[in-house]
Structure 1
């Protein structure tokens, strides 16, 4: 757990007060749009008209469009400014969602779903990469738990709004599902305007911070992916030499973002990143199954019948496990940041959730509340609690901004895209004749996700053991690298150190390049030290 001095504590509070509410609202718009698809899935095939299989086809079109554009969208969002990028995405799919209320045939509905898939492609990966760029690794899981848990708990009560919306059925000739699409679109457009006006793009351009706070914000987030040659932030020095960009204490300037092909290739060829994607796919499918079967399990567990008032009671009781999950998620994420462990804080909640799904599948509905308390509650709470730690674990191991963007796109895109057609109304997974099928498959998927996380943990530990055995020189390098790079950050991120840096640069050794680049700071010395001491040349 990080220990803050008063200045850093004040900075973190300012960042939390500006970033967390806006990012939570953005994620809420995303989840509300997905929930709209679940709650309108039974009405759209009847209204258009079309068949349930055709409706599933539109969701597959959404998934394919989303996966195909996820990686480019995630790579480009920081290059062109997160505020404009997120505002354009959210406002774009809000406009398409509102216009989808006017479609009259299935072809028009498929076109709108494909457009929404393109616009939502890199949203969740980009949102996660954006939020971690302002915080240290010891703060990631806690902030993600605030964002994910708040939006998840809020949207768990979305069914109550959907039931209330049935009162507008037929008003101005529009069915309930059309009114829901319009409401979803207007909410997204309104938040897009707020995002464009208030969301900061980079730590370097946070105008609500003082110059000293901006320097500290950059230094806090300045880890190994923002070092020379990593393809991250660059400046326009003569001769094209990539040097760290200094922070102007007078006028905030945005950094230059370069896409590193080497980092992309390394991320795509790493087996661990694909295991993250497979694990998150299982978590996403199970989460969408919860939305579909939660109300049914609650109604059968407490013997609730039909009727508007009873339906609202069912929605409220079905949402309570999500509230429990939000509280558990915050505690789990806080302890994960405190201890630095991600794997076990992900695996244990996933195993609890898998056991809950299995109990929902096994326990008959005749046993009443037992199916709810020892089945639905642990299934929901464990799944929501594992979500922030899983996201933090995937992003924590990525080195470099381009690598982190690709890892986020791989991890989130497949699960979030293809879970919709699998868990939507009309899919074979939600066959009413086999009510135990969906919870049983979800239990297997969540258990396999936990297995993937344990395999990833073993792979990382094996790699660390191999690096540790390279020799005493490399061990000393690993021990001293963080201290040296932290000192290098302090020298390179403030104009007040510019003169001192130039004096040291004149005394430094000349590089091998024709431009005569100075070897200043600890990074070059550490690399040369590693080559001589650890590898014997």
Structure 2
């Protein structure tokens, strides 16, 4: 049953979602009144062509700024690798494992604070919280260019982890407000493509900044931190002007388009809709859900090695015999290739509505890449191995996040579960930042061997998830059909909403 556009003519557009919380709240309630009584088979009248046009409108409005935000995040997190070959390690006397400790101290607060940050995002306004975090870490990044000692560097890196903690899980969760579950992977892929491009841009920027060494008495590595931090602050201020909180408050959409998005998201995970009221039971449900931990393990086997290798990639490339400036340039092509593979992988993941086969493909690329780096072959072959590693790591990331998002129902449980998965998984960044020991440079065979083993754990975790999901889906299908012990399952709409992804009618995505 479709409802005519006129049904929504009474909903006025706000001036802007973010300028007045009172207006935003009132508008949200008005839209709520329009859609909350609609059953799952009723929706605002949009043709297939109009629906595609609506999502294209969202893409053009949201994805560029989200991609810019994450681009700044990854550049600021990873530019320490470019700074290291510009003299950072010598000037701050980063001998022994000091460089590894500086990398590790970022990930501890980063992993611990992702969960509470996502709760803050749901309670407060995304259009303010996300830009605030961006401006904050941009300022911190700028101050990193002024550090004089190892201890100052470690302290600022820890502060950077605190500020950046909320961005990635926040954006991943924020996108679930706007896009249906089977169209999420490509959108996460678009904004995560900026992560792989961050490596390319970071190399290009570092190449240009290399020639600023000595200006105003500052070293090139200091200019890397200062200039890239200032750019991040500018991006954060821009985001505050263009981000909207929720579909119901997006004034650039027509009333019936807003109503469609609100209706669509209400029934994206359940034919009875999702419960919007917070309860600590959702936190308990997330903490006791086996999915959180299998997905966290998968995240750790993909994200941890990717973070660790990215920090050391410039040094690995320099060991091939290039000078510093050429090394910065030679880090660019592998990241461009990774971006292409990422977009290909996420596009077909959404088209086929499958996640696990594409994650397995990406993990296989990683295994091939580390096998090459462990081999005694020419530097050119090792350079090709870097292409495989970065392509595998970056292309798996958005699909892995979408897979978890698809299989957690209920806004608050999804919010908590995604933050827990990402937070626990990001402890892998702390682990894998330490497998590349100074004494093992530049071949890092011990580090490559450890990562190679963990990639196989990722394959095992993926296959285990699929087998469990298939078993549960089949069992639920029998229950619903009344084939289990001769009795069907009948639940009220309220019971179905409360059960979320545990409801017999919910099917896990494979």
1:205 offset after TM fit, Å? 0.4
Equivalences for 1:461-472 in 2 at 5 Å?
Answer: 461-470=470-479, 472=481
**Conserved? CA contact 1:430–1:437, under 8 Å:** no
* Alpha-carbon distance in structure 2 between the residues aligned to 1:63 and 1:305: 31
Say whether 1:37 aligns with 2:50.
Answer: no
Where does residue 221 of structure 1 map in the other structure?
Answer: 265
* Alpha-carbon distance in structure 2 between the residues aligned to 1:478 and 1:81: 42
Where does residue 159 of structure 2 map in the other structure?
Answer: 115
TM-score norm. by structure 1 comes to: 0.76
* Alpha-carbon distance in structure 2 between the residues aligned to 1:395 and 1:356: 28
1:227 offset after TM fit, Å? 8.8
Q: 1:45 to 1:296 in 2, by over 3 A?
A: closer
* Alpha-carbon distance in structure 2 between the residues aligned to 1:164 and 1:477: 70
Where does residue 27 of structure 2 map in the other structure?
Answer: none
**Conserved? CA contact 1:277–1:411, under 8 Å:** yes
Counterpart pick for 1:454 among 454, 463, 467: 463
* Alpha-carbon distance in structure 2 between the residues aligned to 1:58 and 1:385: 27
Q: 1:154 to 1:271 in 2, by over 3 A?
A: same
* Alpha-carbon distance in structure 1 between the residues aligned to 2:171 and 2:177: 10
* Alpha-carbon distance in structure 2 between the residues aligned to 1:169 and 1:480: 71
1:387 offset after TM fit, Å? 1.8
* Alpha-carbon distance in structure 2 between the residues aligned to 1:525 and 1:230: 11
**Conserved? CA contact 1:282–1:445, under 8 Å:** yes
* Alpha-carbon distance in structure 1 between the residues aligned to 2:357 and 2:317: 30
Say whether 1:365 aligns with 2:377.
Answer: yes
Where does residue 71 of structure 1 map in the other structure?
Answer: 115
* Alpha-carbon distance in structure 1 between the residues aligned to 2:94 and 2:496: 65
1:6 offset after TM fit, Å? 2.4
* 77-86 vs 436-445, greater mean Cα deviation: 436-445
1:423 offset after TM fit, Å? 2.8
Counterpart pick for 1:331 among 344, 354, 369: 344
Equivalences for 1:223-262 in 2 at 5 Å?
Answer: 223=267, 231-232=275-276, 258-262=277-281
Superposed CA RMSD: 3.2
Q: 1:354 to 1:122 in 2, by over 3 A?
A: same
**Conserved? CA contact 1:333–1:388, under 8 Å:** yes
In structure 1, runs of 5+ residues without a counterpart are: 233-257, 482-521, 528-533
Where does residue 263 of structure 1 map in the other structure?
Answer: 282
Larger gyration radius, structure 1 or structure 2: 1
**Conserved? CA contact 1:28–1:155, under 8 Å:** no
Where does residue 451 of structure 2 map in the other structure?
Answer: 442
* 57-66 vs 330-339, greater mean Cα deviation: 57-66
1:130 offset after TM fit, Å? 0.6
Where does residue 404 of structure 1 map in the other structure?
Answer: 414
Q: 1:59 to 1:4 in 2, by over 3 A?
A: farther
* 102-111 vs 11-20, greater mean Cα deviation: 102-111
Q: 1:321 to 1:185 in 2, by over 3 A?
A: closer
* Alpha-carbon distance in structure 2 between the residues aligned to 1:332 and 1:4: 28
* Alpha-carbon distance in structure 1 between the residues aligned to 2:481 and 2:175: 37
Look up the SS of the partner of 2:97 in the other structure: helix
Q: 1:73 to 1:37 in 2, by over 3 A?
A: same
Where does residue 388 of structure 2 map in the other structure?
Answer: 378
* Alpha-carbon distance in structure 2 between the residues aligned to 1:387 and 1:170: 39
Say whether 1:20 aligns with 2:70.
Answer: no
Once the two structures are superposed, residues 512-537 of structure 1 have per-residue CA deviations (whole angstroms, 9 ceiling, x without a partner) of xxxxxxxxxx836989xxxxxx9xxx
* Alpha-carbon distance in structure 2 between the residues aligned to 1:478 and 1:328: 45
Where does residue 287 of structure 1 map in the other structure?
Answer: 306
1:110 offset after TM fit, Å? 3.0
* Alpha-carbon distance in structure 1 between the residues aligned to 2:429 and 2:135: 23
* Alpha-carbon distance in structure 1 between the residues aligned to 2:342 and 2:94: 40
Equivalences for 1:99-248 in 2 at 5 Å?
Answer: 99-223=143-267, 231-232=275-276
**Conserved? CA contact 1:225–1:401, under 8 Å:** no
Counterpart pick for 1:523 among 469, 493, 496: 493
Look up the SS of the partner of 1:29 in the other structure: helix
In structure 2, runs of 5+ residues without a counterpart are: 1-45, 498-503, 505-510
TM-score norm. by structure 2 comes to: 0.80
**Conserved? CA contact 2:111–2:423, under 8 Å:** yes
* Alpha-carbon distance in structure 1 between the residues aligned to 2:332 and 2:223: 23
Q: 1:215 to 1:327 in 2, by over 3 A?
A: same
* Alpha-carbon distance in structure 1 between the residues aligned to 2:488 and 2:220: 60
**Conserved? CA contact 1:280–1:411, under 8 Å:** yes
**Conserved? CA contact 2:282–2:413, under 8 Å:** yes
Once the two structures are superposed, residues 392-438 of structure 1 have per-residue CA deviations (whole angstroms, 9 ceiling, x without a partner) of 111110111222122222222244455157337x9528821653233
Where does residue 235 of structure 1 map in the other structure?
Answer: none
